[in-house]
Chains A and B, each alone.
Chain A
């Protein structure tokens, strides 16, 4: 189902629903797009059609720090607006981890169930964006409740789930169905956006897919070379939308067995350390390499999903200026020269 809604009506609708939902939308703060809580005062500051927000989508579902042994109150009904495809794809990985397998994370599930995702197209990628290198598109095709594509002073509204459908039920009658002309316009804009990402990453294109390169070049000296500037800060994993690793820590809080779950980083020295101080990944380059293998080989083998969606946040966040695309390119060069 696809509709057209003009900007004024859309914002009016958001204002109205902001009484029942907490709405977070990407807005410009210090030259970055940052999720801001929506209010009638700032509703029209939202940026829809450009690159992703600086925060990864996971912050709404897997909190950086959270008590997991105390019963928490029901999470508030939340909407995340303007989510880009790189984040939607990454959320699939978190869903696999936290919602599937022998155990479900009840905290993650409650937040996921109480959150509506309204995605939008990305027409202006950044220089650090590389979704196309991983066969992703800068526009959502699945995994959203609603998608809004900015177009003709309004939005092309696409319903992606039953949750999204019931969400717009109250304004459904006022919505015009999207014309084929409008659809074509969106298609053209999407194609151009994709071309732009391809253009930005021309020099990083490799013949072999990333998954094959990281596996084939396991023993390459490049791993050690590129790790030289890493300061082990963990920014790349914290800011990554598909990194989900955490550590359970016992605390001195009230309660029987108080435990807190913290985001953890596989780049830290002690991440894999076992009893008697034995460390299977004692060297920094071994940890960096393992992270690439996790993203491009292991998770795809587990879930059929590449756990890097090319959002480019790690490239921007890295204090040592390590650019994943350059790492892969360097690894691949031996054979492809």
Chain B
């Protein structure tokens, strides 16, 4: 029999990092190297419990370990949050099409993220920074509910030192000590001046933020074909077969999860 695509490889949880009160980053060491492209996703199995899709938040250049940032929202993620360092999970993948970052060469890249949607964007950001000479400018606009809900808190001070990278952050509700923007993440878009003719935008976050973020980008003058969206669906097989992640005629697991907005903008109800 040819290779069985349903069978995960073992991965050991090497480290668990608390990002916020309900978000953790799991550092996994798979028994076999898993090479992925930034934006592709993997299927994570808890033996005997279940499986769900996640996009790695680590750099694709780091191949020994893979980091996955997970918010506790349901049964499986709840169980994951109870797991300890040293325990074993399963990984299948990578699957799908990631960020076509060659398309971003010589352009200004606007990265718009919300909440735990920063996970795939962190992987993208690390990829962009590794190849920073190939891009004109990188602008990250990131929003969270409160300062406490910001993920990768330790990484931001380092990122702020990087040349060509500008970072703007907002929180829906500020707290004492917060000196950056207060408001929805879309207000940050009014503060940045992008060279629209020569810019692409990448959006990842909760559905409502993706929707209004995209509309705002269109208002600002971005063309639908210059906007890249991470469409998260509930992939079951990840192989383009089971039908669970259907988005119009597409299967998000194989045609996405990253889509150019112009490909999907006419499909009804894409923001749910």
A residues sitting closer than 8 Å to B (CB atoms) are 68-69, 71, 97-98, 101-106, 109-110, 218, 244-252, 256-259, 261, 264, 266, 271-281, 286, 290, 293-294, 297-299, 301-302
Given A250-B47, A256-B90, the answer on whether A102 and B240 have CB atoms closer than 8 Å is yes
CB under 8 Å from chain A, chain B span 1-51 = 1-8, 10, 45-51
**B63 within 8 A of partner (CB):** no
Given A101-B254, A275-B73, A275-B74, the answer on whether A257 and B90 have CB atoms closer than 8 Å is yes
Q: When the two chains form their complex, are residues A245 and B249 in contact, meaning their CB atoms are under 8 A apart?
A: no
Q: When the two chains form their complex, are residues B246 and A290 in contact, meaning their CB atoms are under 8 A apart?
A: yes
CB distance from B166 to the nearest CB of A (A): 31
Task: State the CA gap A90–B232 with chains docked (Å).
Answer: 30
Set of chain B residues within 8 Å of A302, measured between Cβ atoms: 249
Task: State the CA gap A277–B207 with chains docked (Å).
Answer: 12
Set of chain A residues within 8 Å of B268, measured between Cβ atoms: 218
Given A264-B243, A275-B73, A301-B249, the answer on whether A257 and B8 have CB atoms closer than 8 Å is yes
Q: Which residue of B lies closest to A299 (CB)?
A: B249
Q: When the two chains form their complex, are residues B243 and A244 in contact, meaning their CB atoms are under 8 A apart?
A: yes
Q: When the two chains form their complex, are residues A250 and B234 in contact, meaning their CB atoms are under 8 A apart?
A: no
CB under 8 Å from chain A, chain B span 30-84 = 45-52, 71, 73-74, 77
Given A102-B240, A276-B74, A279-B272, the answer on whether A257 and B7 have CB atoms closer than 8 Å is yes
Set of chain A residues within 8 Å of B248, measured between Cβ atoms: 293, 298
Chain B interface extent, by class: 35 or more
Task: State the CA gap A290–B249 with chains docked (Å).
Answer: 10
CB under 8 Å from chain A, chain B span 229-250 = 232-234, 236-237, 239-244, 246, 248-249
Known: A68-B4, A256-B10, A275-B234. 18 other contacts (CB 8 A): A97-B240, A106-B1, A106-B3, A218-B268, A248-B236, A256-B8, A257-B45, A257-B47, A264-B236, A264-B242, A271-B244, A274-B232, A274-B233, A275-B52, A275-B71, A278-B207, A294-B246, A298-B246
Given A101-B254, A248-B6, the answer on whether A275 and B242 have CB atoms closer than 8 Å is no
> Binary interface profile of B, 123-144, with partner A (CB < 8 Å = 1, else 0)?
0000000000000000000000
**B269 within 8 A of partner (CB):** yes
Given A256-B10, A302-B249, the answer on whether A244 and B240 have CB atoms closer than 8 Å is no
Set of chain A residues within 8 Å of B3, measured between Cβ atoms: 106
Q: Which residue of B lies closest to A252 (CB)?
A: B48
Set of chain B residues within 8 Å of A109, measured between Cβ atoms: 2
Using a Cβ cutoff of 8 Å, how many contacts connect chains A and B? Answer: 120
Set of chain A residues within 8 Å of B240, measured between Cβ atoms: 97, 101-103
Task: State the CA gap A275–B75 with chains docked (Å).
Answer: 10
Q: When the two chains form their complex, are residues A250 and B242 in contact, meaning their CB atoms are under 8 A apart?
A: no
CB distance from B3 to the nearest CB of A (A): 8
Q: Which residue of A lies closest to B2 (CB)?
A: A106
Q: When the two chains form their complex, are residues A251 and B234 in contact, meaning their CB atoms are under 8 A apart?
A: no
Set of chain A residues within 8 Å of B10, measured between Cβ atoms: 256
Set of chain A residues within 8 Å of B233, measured between Cβ atoms: 272, 274
Set of chain A residues within 8 Å of B272, measured between Cβ atoms: 278-280
Task: State the CA gap A260–B5 with chains docked (Å).
Answer: 13
CB distance from B243 to the nearest CB of A (A): 3
Q: Which residue of A lies closest to B1 (CB)?
A: A106
Set of chain B residues within 8 Å of A278, measured between Cβ atoms: 207, 272
Q: When the two chains form their complex, are residues A105 and B241 in contact, meaning their CB atoms are under 8 A apart?
A: yes
CB distance from B28 to the nearest CB of A (A): 15
Task: State the CA gap A101–B8 with chains docked (Å).
Answer: 19
CB distance from B41 to the nearest CB of A (A): 13
A-B contact pairs, 11 of them (CB 8 A): A71-B1, A102-B240, A104-B2, A110-B1, A252-B48, A272-B246, A275-B52, A275-B74, A275-B77, A290-B246, A293-B248
